[in-house]
Structure 1
Amino acid sequence: MIERELYMEQIIPFIDQPFVKVIAGIRRCGKSVVLQLISEELLRKGVDKSHIVYMNFESFEWMDIKDAKALYTHIGSIIKGAEGKFYILLDEIQEVENWEKAVNSFMVDWNVDIYVTGSNSRMLSSELSTYLAGRYVDFHIMPLSFKEYFSFHDLPLEQEKATIREEFRKYLRMGGFPAIHTADYSYDAIYKIVYDIYSSVILRDTVQRHGIRNVELLERVVKFVFDNIGNRLNAKNIADYFKSQQRKVDINTIYNYLNALERAFIIQRVQRYDIKGKELLQTNEKYFVSDLSLIYAVMGYKDRLIAGALENLVYWEMRRRGYEVYIGKQDDKEVDFVALCRDEKLYVQVTYQLASQATIDREYTPLLAINDHYPKYVVSMDEVWQDNIEGVKHKHISEFLLEKDWR
């Protein structure tokens, strides 16, 4: 197994702490591997193997455990009468009805340390908050970053710029699902693998979990969002589009579909932020996809989506590093990203190439108008442009994604 160091560094300090560790993310992003890495870490710490209880609820082995009572009974049969702490690792826990009630009882009744994974963010919402309020910490596992791509392919990070940029172009086309980086697959094979992942997520984490009947409309919504990645978008925009196609769709239905897709980690809604007023705005948000390969698998690779694809990669890299990320509004101008992390702030513009003076002005002017001392970047795939302008730095996207510190 390849170490997912970024996530293990976050989780390890919480081992033996009185919180349920909730590990969530889209299917096949590597949650099960993280759970196995936690098990290995426990063994290294001297925990007896018999005190580590691991259950994967996608396995046929546990098909009879359908609800909280059955889960509680099974775990109880292992723990009751035994001495010492037990470590309970439950993979894809959302397959068990009312699982949060069982987990709450585990904490009340026994000496345990609990780790659960799931593929739907609903497990982090009302039900979980009701039973475990203040007693859980959550970790969002994402597909591979560009840095992790190097680890999976056993490539050194210290290479010539030209080599790193060539590897970036491969990463851009392949996406970050770990499974596709375990062998030398063609792009066609990659997109077939990813389409199977997508189909599973659509069926199990959206259609079945939310009782969606009009699957054809749901997939049309998915394609519309994918085709507008990085553009301002909301439920009304989508409903208006369908109306222009002579298809009447209720805006609440669109809203519900977008929520279901977001809960399944297929897409992520990003709100706008007024830089001067320092407040969130409720209109003209953007949506990004959890991994670019999902777009290619569903719609094929499209060069015209390159600007949105680059924004997508920058957005998720900032999220990996713990930033809250918003779309910026500066008077009548837009800043692609305002990223906040405690007392740190970062402004980023993303474009494909700085090919003309008009493009240079469009990308740099909003950043130059921001009167504070926080770092400001223009990120592109430009091979020639090198200049920094009045403290606004330019970075090739491959360098930006691998930068150790943006401050």
Structure 2
Amino acid sequence: MRAREYFQLLYPLITEKRVKRALVLMGPRRVGKTVILYHTIEKLIEDGIPPDNICYFSIETPLYNGIFLEELVKLYLQLQSKKSTENCYIIFDEIQYLKDWEIHLKSLVDSYHYIKFIVSGSAAAALKLKSQESGAGRFTEFILPPLTFHEFLSLTNSENIIKVTSKTVENENGVFNKAFYSTYNISKLNEHFLNYINFGGYPELSLSKVIQSDPGRYIRNDIIDKVLMRDLPSLYGISDIQELNSLFTYIAYNSGNEMSLDEISQNSGVAKNTIKKYLTYLEAAFLIKIIHRIDQTGKKFKRANFFKIYLTNPSLRSALFSPINATDDFIGNMVETAIFSQWQHCQNSQLYYARWQSGEVDFVSLNEKQKPA
């Protein structure tokens, strides 16, 4: 499989050793975290790092159950006859299977100054919470989101449909060249975009026709069910999993619609105070994203009675219900969800929406002066 385009952003953080920090790679399930680690190992060797200076552990392997991280590090150093002062790279994949991993990792960073530690995990909500609680000044977080449309085209060898031209533009910052994108075949591009909406969020799903024939089994079992039934309950002590599942199903079906707590409560049967907590959990697990409403002048409302909820990737809805076609009544919402998901890859991705009696703007970004852009 080709390396994801995010690899170009991740690799400099892995090779950065002037700052003594571990790298915590997190994100939703099945977005290619393990594969990107394999590409990292390949690139390190290409760049001259001796293979025996790189060690990879998959913590979910039963053999490692109950073994502390430092014990694994010492075993590696002993077996390879390495000194703790040698420049090495140690990778712990699926770190969430180790209890109190963040405490042990912080201790390793403080003790082994010449070793770069990289960890990854799929229980994104748990990783983020524990990383921020215990890893301040010791961990660098890197979130790997679902595929962008551009990455989807690249992985499926379809990027040749895109035409790129460069034009000279001028603004208050000066004169510079800017890339503009068009297509050689708009019908084919629309076909690819519809496939992205239905199957494009996850690399394996994008490339496998077998999995695409039954996306519900693949995504629901491997992504949605494991998050709703295992990750979130274990982290936040959720007891009513059926209630959480009911809420998420309602949100997924209505992705991109304006909602209110009263409306969600009425339609899902979940109490409003419980809904607030569940929304926080689902957002921490990178399944949904909430955006709030602003008025025509760009000001936020004091009481956020209405808001929009988007799935982080439209293929989640296709898995829960069924793939949609270009004439489906809900295609507009899914196109909007797909476009919104691209914005989540931006550093400054704080978006809002505006709605008034005579019109609506789906996405609004505020600049440094808090003016609509």
Q: Place the TM-score, normalised by the shorter chain, in its bin.
A: 0.7 to 0.9
Cross-structure match for 1:259: 280
1:142 maps to which of 110, 122, 145: 145
Cross-structure match for 1:289: 311
The C-alpha deviation readout for 1:19-53, integer Å capped at 9, x for no partner, is 32222111101111112122222212222222212
What TM-score does the superposition give when structure 2 sets the normalisation length?
Answer: 0.80
- Superposed displacement of residue 205, structure 1: 1.6
2:50 maps to which of 34, 48, 51: 48
- Superposed displacement of residue 56, structure 1: 1.8
Cross-structure match for 2:337: 312
Query: 1:32 is aligned with what amino acid?
Result: T
User: Is residue 112 of structure 1 aligned with residue 112 of structure 2?
Assistant: no
Cross-structure match for 2:72: 74
Identity of aligned residues (%): 26
- CA distance 1:201–1:131, change in 2 (3 Å): closer
> Is the 2:149–2:200 Cα contact (8 Å) retained in structure 1?
no
Quick one: distance in 2 between partners of 1:280 and 1:13? 41
User: Is residue 298 of structure 1 aligned with residue 320 of structure 2?
Assistant: yes
Cross-structure match for 1:168: 193
Quick one: distance in 1 between partners of 2:148 and 2:303? 30
Cross-structure match for 1:222: 248
Quick one: distance in 2 between partners of 1:16 and 1:275? 45
Q: How does 1:323-362 map to 2 (within 5 A)?
A: 323-329=348-354, 334-339=360-365
Query: 2:3 is aligned with what amino acid?
Result: E
Secondary structure in 1 matching 2:209 = coil
Quick one: distance in 1 between partners of 2:148 and 2:281? 25
- CA distance 1:79–1:24, change in 2 (3 Å): same
Secondary structure in 1 matching 2:289 = strand
User: Is residue 128 of structure 1 aligned with residue 131 of structure 2?
Assistant: yes
Query: 1:292 is aligned with what amino acid?
Result: P
Quick one: distance in 1 between partners of 2:39 and 2:360? 42
Moved more, 289-298 or 185-194: 185-194
- Superposed displacement of residue 317, structure 1: 0.8
User: Is residue 184 of structure 1 aligned with residue 183 of structure 2?
Assistant: no
- Superposed displacement of residue 206, structure 1: 2.0
Query: 1:216 is aligned with what amino acid?
Result: Q
- CA distance 1:273–1:137, change in 2 (3 Å): farther
Query: 1:173 is aligned with what amino acid?
Result: N
Cross-structure match for 2:102: 100
Secondary structure in 1 matching 2:258 = coil
Query: 1:180 is aligned with what amino acid?
Result: L
Quick one: distance in 2 between partners of 1:282 and 1:75? 52
What TM-score does the superposition give when structure 1 sets the normalisation length?
Answer: 0.74
Quick one: distance in 2 between partners of 1:148 and 1:234? 34
Quick one: distance in 2 between partners of 1:130 and 1:218? 25
Cross-structure match for 1:16: 16
Query: 1:117 is aligned with what amino acid?
Result: S
The C-alpha deviation readout for 1:233-265, integer Å capped at 9, x for no partner, is 3544322334xxxx5x43222222222222222
Report runs of 4+ in structure 1 exceeding 4 Å deviation.
277-282, 330-333, 342-345
- Superposed displacement of residue 328, structure 1: 2.8
Query: 2:257 is aligned with what amino acid?
Result: N
Cross-structure match for 1:29: 31
- Superposed displacement of residue 280, structure 1: 7.5
Quick one: distance in 1 between partners of 2:206 and 2:339? 21
Q: What are the ranges of 5 or more consecutive residues in structure 1 without an aligned counterpart?
A: 346-369, 375-407
Secondary structure in 2 matching 1:185 = helix
- CA distance 1:224–1:72, change in 2 (3 Å): same
Q: How many residues align?
A: 336
Q: What are the ranges of 5 or more consecutive residues in structure 2 without an aligned counterpart?
A: 163-183
User: Is residue 232 of structure 1 aligned with residue 289 of structure 2?
Assistant: no
RMSD of Structure 2 on Structure 1 (CA): 2.7
Query: 2:277 is aligned with what amino acid?
Result: N
- Superposed displacement of residue 267, structure 1: 1.5
Quick one: distance in 2 between partners of 1:171 and 1:72? 42
Quick one: distance in 2 between partners of 1:273 and 1:113? 44
The C-alpha deviation readout for 1:88-144, integer Å capped at 9, x for no partner, is 21222122111111111111111221222222233223x322332133332221222
> Is the 2:59–2:93 Cα contact (8 Å) retained in structure 1?
yes
- Superposed displacement of residue 4, structure 1: 0.7
- Superposed displacement of residue 76, structure 1: 2.9
> Is the 2:25–2:141 Cα contact (8 Å) retained in structure 1?
yes
